[in-house]
Every structure is written in C-alpha cells, then in structure tokens.
A and B are shown apart, each in its own frame.
Chain A
Amino acid sequence: MNPYVLSILLMGLGLGTTVTFASSHWLLAWMGLEMNTLAILPLMAQHHHPRAVEATTKYFLIQSAAAATILFASSTNAWLSGQWDIQHITHPLPTVMITLALSLKLGLAPLHAWLPEVIQGLDLTTGLILSTWQKLAPFALLVQIFPDTPLLITSLGLISMVAGGWGGLNHTQLRKILAYSSVAHLGWMMVVMQFSTSLTALALLMYVIMTASAFLTFKLLKSTSMNNLAMSWAKAPSITALMPLVLLSLGGLPPLSGFLPKWLIIQELTKQELGLVATFAALSALLSLFFYLRMCYCLTFTSSPNNLVGTTPWRLETKQVSLPLAISTSLSILLLPISPAVLSLTLPLF
C-alpha cells in the first residue's frame, strides 16, 4: 500500500476514535464510529486475497448495521425525551437497543460470532488494530451511557466469559484463539462496569497491552497456527522463553500483570455481595486458561521433526521493529508489583 494512502487511513482511524471520545452528541459519536469502520476496511483487505475480502465484507456489514442501530436508538430516545446527549439516555427501550448494538460492535457474546471469523481472515497487524484500537470507541460510549440495566449487563458479561473460554477450546488457529480470548476479556470488563468504571478502564488497558504483546510476538515468529509455534525456538529463543509468561498473564496467573484486573474485579464483585457471579467468573477463567496452557505447551515443550538447516533461523537478524514488542511484553509480565500506580492511572479517568 502506498505510504501516503496508509497515513491517510491511519489518520482516519485516529480521528474517528478521537471524535467519538470527544463527542457528547449522538450524531457526532456515530460519525466517529463510521469513520473508524471506513478507515480500517482497506487495511483489512490490503492483500486482496479471498479470505481478506470475505473478512472485510463481514466486518463492514456487522459494523455499519450496528452503527445504524445505535443512531436509530438514540433518535428514538430523542423522539421520546427530546435529548441528544450521550449521557441522557433515560428511556429503557433505547438503552437496551444501544447496549446491544454496542456489544455487537465490540463482539460480546451472544453477539460475538463474527469476531473469530473476521480476525482469522486478517494479517496479524490488522488483527491487532481490530482487537485493540477498534474496541476503544464503542467502549467509551458504553461507559458513558452507563446503562441502567443490571440484568442485561451482567448476563452479557457472564455469557461472554463462558463463550470466550468455551469457544477457544478446540482451535488450532492462533488468531481464532486470540479472538475468543478477546471475547472472554470483554466479559470481565462488562461484569464490573456497573460498579466501578475505573476498574473497567484498568481491565481494558491491561487487555490492550497483553493482546498487543501476543499479536506482536506471533508476528515476529510468523506463526498463525499451533503447528508453527512448535518451531519458534529456532526462530527467536528469547521471545520463546518469554511468550509463555505473556500467555499465562493473559490467562491471569498471580505473579504476572494479567492477574491484576481479575483480582480487583473479583474483589469488587465480592464487595458488592455478588459471590455467585464472582465464583462463576473465576471458574470460567479456567476454561480460557486451558487453551493458553495448550499454546504454552506447543511453544516450549514440543519440537517438530526438523532438519539441521531448519534450526538456524535465529542466527539471522530480524528486520521487524522490536521496540513495541519489548515494551508491551515487559509491561504485560511485570506490572503486578506496581498495581497501586496502575490503578491510580485509571482512577482519574472517571
């Protein structure tokens, strides 16, 4: 792709999310969402092979239908109450419609079926943008409307956790597994949203960091399926040693930074006397942990049969930029000891 066109598209992505962040009027928020959708389409289809075009078409249909539903629900709210402000969604009908449309945009279960298929058709960089940057604008809207429907929000969150854990179990394609892990993480954010939005922001931040390091590592190793992972020790030994830690951090094991949001969310749920929900959430994390452990196993404990030449690529110098990978990997492993600082980073957001 031409670098000028690429820069225009990336500016469109940035501008769309910024407009949605800055807006208080639903029409402006909708404009930002549309700009996001339009700007990422050529990035998704940049290789023009059938899988990419299919993923782009599915993504376009889903996103524009969801955005139109958001605008329709807000215009219904305007008809019923005369308000266009994002924070003045009072009538229950538009609230439910907007919540469902935003969860379709985000890929929350039971509206998540498009996400694994779309991510499977993309290359890893675009998949990274899709599963991190594109989630920010809908999440900002969802936090701002602060939906007053606890049953809907909690059930969306719980179903997402279970569906994300369950869906990824038997897959061998890394991008699908990462998509399901994204669904599960979004479920954690949803469950705690009505009690503490700063914890939601914290979970979103940690999710973005960990997903970025996972995608960037797979991009460095050029692997998109479990089989390719078995050869990664021959490509980059040090990142192969660190990658299981990142994966376990995604799974939420204690000494790593992925434990931080899960810990705080379960603590908050317990404080609200929602013991059953907290137990359910903690148990459903085990489902996700299973496939992260499977990836770790393929990554570190197996070695596929190989000739001598195949074991030498680590001697070659890689051409890829490794600074973002280094930063995100160390952040996604080491953040737990400074958790008060991280928490105070997200507290003033709301």
Chain B
Amino acid sequence: MNNRIKILRQQSLEAINTISAERALLVTEFYQSNASKGLSIPMTRAKAFEYILANKFICINNGELIVGERGPAPKATPTYPEICVHSQRDLEILDTREKVWFRVDEATRKAFDEIIFPFWNGKTNRDKIMEAMSPQWHDAYKAGVFTEFQEQRAPGHTVCGDKIYGKGMLDIIDDIQASIQQLDFINDPQAFDKREELKAMEVTARALIMWAQRHAEKLEEMATETDDSSKAEELLQLANICRKVPAHAPQTFHEAIQYYWFVHLGVITELNPWDSFNPGRLDQHLNPFYQEELTNGTLAKEQAIEILQSFWIKFNNHPSPPKVGVTAQESNTYTDFCLINIGGVKPDGSDATNEMSFMLLDVIEEMRLLQPSSMVQLSKKNPDQLIDRTVKILKTGFGQPSIFNTDAIIQEMLRMGKDIVDARKGGASGCVETGAFGTEAYILTGYFNLPKVLEITLNNGIDPSTDKAIGLETGNVSDFITYEQLLSAFQKQVNHFINIKIEGNNTIERVFANNLPVPFLSLVIDDCISTGIDYVAGGARYNTSYIQGVGLGTITDSLTALKKHVFDEASYTLSQVAAALQNNFKQAENLHFDLVYNTPKYGNDDDYADDRLSEVFEIYYNAVNGKPNTRDGAHRVNLLPTTCHVYFGSVVGATPDGRMAKVPLSEGISPVQGADSQGPTAVVKSAAKIDHLRTGGTLLNQRFTPDFFKDDTAIRKVSQLVRSYFRMDGHHIQFNVVSSDILKDAQLHPENYRDLIVRVAGYSDYFNDLGEDLQNEIIHRTAHEEF
C-alpha cells in the first residue's frame, strides 16, 4: 500500500470510538420544530432525514479518495433516539466498559441529559414494542429463551443490488413519478398511503443529492485554501464526482464507488439497520467500470487499488452503533457485519470470477482491517484458483474471508420460491444469511435458545433460574419412560416458545411499518417504488423473517447423553441426571465424567449422535418454517449465533452433555467446543447431515493450526475439504487458524480442546496427547509462524 493509504489506515486504526450527539440532536430539533407537524409518517421520516443531511457537519479526511462520514469524524458514532434512547447510565456503561467501549465527552453527556433523553424517554419505538408484547413474551424474553433484534436496531439485513450502477437518483425520481402516475385512487384503497410513501421517497432521493453537493462545496472550498496545486486538483476532481453522483448514474470506477458510499451512509443515517448496509457482489458491480476504463486508458490498476483501499478504510471508520443491555451481549463487537461477496455465478448461471475478484482479495489481504467483512462465494463452476487464493489469505490467521457455497445458497432461495435470476444475483450477508440482493427484505428477528428449552422441559415448564412457570406442563422427569416421550415433550415446548416469538414478530413488524418506515432504503430495494410500499412494510419483492437457532451442538449432545445413559443403557435415571444438573455436577463427578467422556458426540460422523441432530433440526424447522409474517412473506430458520451463544449459555444451567452452568453454548452448527475428535472430515460429514437447503444459512467454524497451510500442496487439501463439504450441500465454513494463545489455553483446559490437532513432524497428533515439552515446542513454533 502506498503512503497515502498507510496514513489513512493508521488514522482509522487509531481513531477513538466515541458517541456523537450530532444526529440525535438534529433529529430531536426536527421533531420539536414546526416543520414536523401535520406530515404523514413517511413524510415525517423523509423530512427528518433531509434535515439531518442538510445540517450535519461535512467531514473530509485529509488525503481520502472516497468521502463521507456518518458522524462528524471517523468512528464518531451516532445514536438513534427514535429507536431507543440512551440514558446517562447507558452512556456511563458505554464509556467505561472494558470491551467495545465508546468514549462519551462532557458536552455529549450534557446534550443527552438536557435535550435528547427528556424528549424521547417513553416515546421511542422500543417503548412501543415493549408495551405491545404479551406477558408470555416478556417472560420468555427475560428468561433468555429468545432475543429480539428489532428492540434497539431497525430491520435492515439487506444488501444493495446492481440498480444504482445503472441509475442516478434523478432517474430513480423519474421512476417514483411514474409510480405515482400509476396510482389508482378509484380501485386501490391504499393509493393515498402509497402516494405519501412515494413522495417521501422522492424527498430522501433529493436529500442525498443535496448532501453530495454539500460535500462538493466543502471540497471546492478546501481546494481554494490549499497552496499545493496537485492537492487542489485532486480535491476538485473529488468535488466533480460528488456533483455527478448520486444525482446521475456513475460512468467511472471512482464514481461507482463514491455513489455506493453515499447510499451506504444514507441507509445508516436514516436509521440504524442491522448489518449496516452492504455493496454485496462488489466484484460483479465494479468489474465492468474497471475494464472499460482500463481499455480507455483512463484508469491504471494501481489507481483502482488505491481507490478500493480508501473505500475499505471508510468501512472501518464506521463501528456498529452501540447497544446496551441484552443486545450488547448478543453481538458485542465493533463489526457491523457488512459482508462483501466475491465470486459466485452470473445471472445466467456461469462462473462470475473476474479480475476484480482477485483484486478485492489482494485488497483484503493487504488491508487487514476489522471492517468490512468479506466472503468468497464458491460455486462448482468457479475455478480452484479462487478457493486456493482464499485459503492462502486464511492461512495468515486473519479469519477472513469466510467461504460460502453458491450452489447451496441458490437452491435455498429457489426452495423459498425466488426467481432463479434473483437467486443468482444474491448471496449471503451479515454472518451467513441467505438473501436476494437488491430485491429482498430478509429480517433476522432473534436468536432462539434450544438448550434453554430442554432445561425448561426437564423442569416441567419451569425456568429453574427463577422458579417461574413460563413453559407448558409437559410432565415430570419421572414420567418419561421412553426417549420418544421426552423428545415429544421437548417438541411441545419448542412449538410453544416459537409461537410466542412469532406472535411478537408479527406485532413488531407492524410497529415499524406504522411508525418508522425507511423511504430512503426503499429507493434501492426493488419493488418498493413500483408497489409504493415501504421496505419495512412488505414493499420488497421477497419478504422473509428468520429466527436463528442457537446451541445445536449442545442440544444434540445433551439429547444423545440422555438417550444413551437414561433410556438405552439405563445406567442413570432421568431424575438422577436432573438432580446432578441442578447441582452443577457437584457430588456427581462420575456421572459428569460419563456424560463428557463416555457419550458419543456430534461432530464425529457417528450416527448415534448425529441422528439426534436431525431430530432437533426437524423439530425446530417444523416449528418455524412457513409461518406467515405480516409482509406477505414467511418465517424461515437460520442456524447461527454471532456471539449470542455466550449470552444464552449464561442463562442456562448445567446441561446433560456435561456442560457446566453458565458456560457458553456451542456456536452455529459447530460441534461443542472440543467434542469432535475425529478430525475435520468427520466434522463436515456430521454437519452435512443437517439439510442445509431448507435453511437460510448455517455457520460452521473449523479450527486449524498454521501447519495445515504450510505449502501449496497443503493448501490444496484444505480447499478440497471445502469442495467436499459443499458437494454435500454445506452452506458455509470458516477457518480459525489457531494462535499460540489458544494453544496455551489448551494446555490449561485440555477438556475444551479435545479436537485440537497439531502437526508434529511429518504427522499430526492431538495436542492433548502430546507431552508438555512438545506442547511447549509447538506453542513456540506457532508463535514464530504468526504474523
């Protein structure tokens, strides 16, 4: 990377995460002013958006090639009081917590205390949601049976398609006008509402153009102030770009990226949608611009890379807006899950890999930034070169890019009833969520704690941590004679809690549709303009609601242990096990030992355990799949945890797989930490026993030491492992290259690392099986190989 990028990158890394009161103050000012009175809800939201963009500080960082910041400075992070308002106590926590902190200065504190909090307290969307929820919902929510995504952040979870690369905002306004012309006030009772929505969309489109012009003015002003003529020239070039896009369709590579970035900022300024926003299939969108300019001689490869790198830094300047309370534990990270997709297939189904795919991989490797996240879509049609290049980056222990199965993703979408071209234009976003880019609102609604439901089942509907009856009475432990009876009780409890969750979801969707439409986001997701319906109200072509199951490994191993020790072998009674769980295995050490060491575990390609996984999957799938949402779409399942397995673990006592109380659950569809002892092929075979094609995404994490990536031959074998998993319809796999710190932890807690294989010398062995001296040697060697 050149000097300019080095400096910008360093600045981004060193920028301090702060809370900025700017947006909250502007939105409060607007709602307090007369300008907000008498408007329809969509128009109120549009005018608030316009007010923010007209008045916010224009921040241009020295030397950057892509301009625009959400806050007044890099990592100055706004809040969204119309969604939820931060109290003094919240700000205090954010300022002082050990991890993922945001500094709050005195002026900000004062603004919240005197203006923002008093105005919004009791009037936020969060207040409306909490008020609308049933007592059963509140009980389950407090017990940690499920979480609620929309409580502190807006529904987003979507990705930009290819629309903006062919249409400027002025073209989009023409589409809006045409849609208004089409409205049928005689036959369509919603025509008035649609017109309000469409008018609101136009206001936001014009607001974005206005905001870009403000950037142009500032850049021109900066150009007159500098004595450096080449600097002045560069600033004027940037100003020209801001005058051109987003008003008009982009014609150059640079314009295309700047246009996307303005749209990105528009989406995350309008509200705080989950997973921010995302350019999606970036190599597909950018390559035509790049190739054309390369041919015309108007852009060199080095320039293109410099622009891309400057773009990457912009993502890193934008941490996820801070939450507090439960949602902070759900996803406690600065990452805002903007997942850039590389590779995959073209709309006609052919291999989509192009020169830009590999340029983006180079940028990812060189930038090594937390944000944006990146992934490679691997189809059977993509060349091995793509996967080998990806594995080479993974070798550096950076954890990115993750690898997704394009062919599975497309089949998942076809199963959900999407058009094949829309499916091929899609991919995965956030963590691993399947979606059609530019045409779908696929809302994650919350995580679902499967092991917690087993705990409640084993306590006849009572949550043992509060002694409160929150589930159904499905029988005392002494009543279960067969494993099938126990499983059937578990199924009833799952259905019970899923129904509570869905009832909540369908209420919350209406709270958003009625109070917080997003006319700006609706501009870029089809078919909101042609239908005249907002993104949150069902205007997108496809409308999916996901509920994400968590703790698959823990629940599978728990049921396996009960089936084996209680029902098949009758070595313990269910009451004995339940008592041991209640006491967190105190005075039950032999039982504990049998549960951990004498029980088949998921992740070892052992059907005794893996069949339990299929049972759980079917129960969960049948509870959720196909239940309607309010947006003319349906609920679907996902199997991913982000970091919620930690929070969910903290509310679950000891489990029959031998897990101690409060310890994290297993994550995604990965086996319980350390329970897989037959190597990665056995793990992926076990994981492939789930029917991934009936989900909207699964997450599998696989641990490797750097030795497995030692040379091209070794890398090839890891690539082939991935290909094999994908042949079995696996959705996603990501590699964690083990660090020396992890190895040190494995020395201290060997039971958590039963799966850890290290290369010794010409062969591999389980780390636990090595003598301490050799363990030390391998730790030393791994540390040496780290970057």
Are A and B associated in one complex? no
